[in-house]
Amino acid sequence: MIEARRLHILRAVADHRTVTAAAAALYLTPSAVSQQLTALEQETGHRLVERGAKGVRLTPAGEILLGHTHAVLAQLERAEAELAAYSAGSAGTVTLASFATGIGMVVAPALARLARSAPGIRVRVQDAEGDASLPMVLDRQVDVAVAVEYRGAPGADDPRLTHIPLYAEPFDAVVPVTHRLADADEVPLAELAKDPWIGPYPGNPCHDVVVLACEHAGFQPRLEHSSDDFRAVVALASADAGVALVPRSALRGMDLTGVVVRPVDGVAPTRRVFAAVRRGAEGHPLIRPVLDALAAVATVN
């Protein structure tokens, strides 16, 4: 008989590619993870993982089992949801991870809505970049992620997750007031090809949006200054250190002295924000109201 606990470990190893990283995500020791993998191999009668210099990869048998693992774990999430519904779970705690702007845009308004509609549900919020929250959901560190689409992110068809689209927002060009395009109604990105750029670090989903937008305009941005804090990005632009693309919502309430904000000419680069939970958990009586509240406030914004 295969133990579901060991399937969690197999999926974590597949996601993180090393025993050490999987152990850290699961709050286990590497030796404990290795022991559980060995026990799983004994239960199945197949070698499931191969260790190499670059980490761990699944064998063909391991890949077969992983496909069933997604279905089994999703069904267990549904079982927990139905049992919670059976016991009329109207009070409890839901953990949620979101990037900072998402907290301001939808998470905080959703909490205010829940305080009226479901006062028994307590939401604990953690600030996490858009590319960090999805692994936190998969590793069961949080229940809900508010995340951003990015290259390499699990897609809407990923068997491990359920996606709930929330909103999409454009990026605007931010240039110093002394910039040659400061008086333009719209900024053609191609005209910024030779400028120094300010932007998020690689790995941040917004970095991907900026780089892809510039590539579509025919150039690679010369990123001279890096910060994941858009207030710092705007401050550097106001000091004439370069130009930037910034999500429109991140500019709300910000001191824009010294810069000019203009829409991008043509199709604006856009980031798409969604909520995600482990597949099967979307019907949980504590999680469902949170998802509904996020979706409701997103349509208002």
**Structure-token pair, residue 55:** 């980490």
Mean pLDDT of 267-292: 92
Q: DSSP state, 131?
A: T
Q: Which sign does the torsion angle of CA 52, 55, 56, 60 carry?
A: negative
Whether the per-residue pLDDT at 90 is higher than 70: the answer is no
Mean pLDDT of 284-293: 93
- Return the residue matching tokens 């993998």: 37
| Domain topology for 90-166+272-299 | D-Maltodextrin-Binding Protein; domain 2 (3.40.190)
Whether the per-residue pLDDT at 132 is higher than 80: the answer is yes
End-to-end CA distance of the chain: 50
* CA-based nearest residue to 199, from 236, 253, 254: 236
DSSP character string of 185-206: SSB-GGGGTTSEEEEPPTTSHH
**Coil vs helix vs strand at 99:** coil
Mean pLDDT of 269-291: 93
Cα–Cα dist 277/96, whole Å: 10
Residues of the chain with CATH 1.10.10.10: 4-82
- pLDDT band at residue 214 under the 50/70/90 scheme: very high
pLDDT of residue 4: 84
- pLDDT band at residue 85 under the 50/70/90 scheme: low
Cα–Cα dist 180/191, whole Å: 10
CATH number for the domain whose boundaries are 168-271:
3.40.190.10
Q: DSSP state, 143?
A: S
CATH number for the domain whose boundaries are 4-82:
1.10.10.10
**Structure-token pair, residue 114:** 């829940």
Integer-rounded Cα radius of gyration of the chain: 22
Whether the per-residue pLDDT at 106 is higher than 80: the answer is yes
Give the range with max mean pLDDT: 35-49, 58-72, 83-97, 217-231: 217-231
Residues of the chain with CATH 3.40.190.10: 90-166+272-299, 168-271
Provide the percentage of residues in the chain whose pLDDT is more than 90.
59
pLDDT of residue 88: 59
Q: Please list, in sequence order, all residues whose beta carbon lies within 8 angstroms of the beta carbon of residue 235, skipping any fewer than 6 positions away.
A: none
77-91, 226-240, 272-286, range with the lowest pLDDT:
77-91
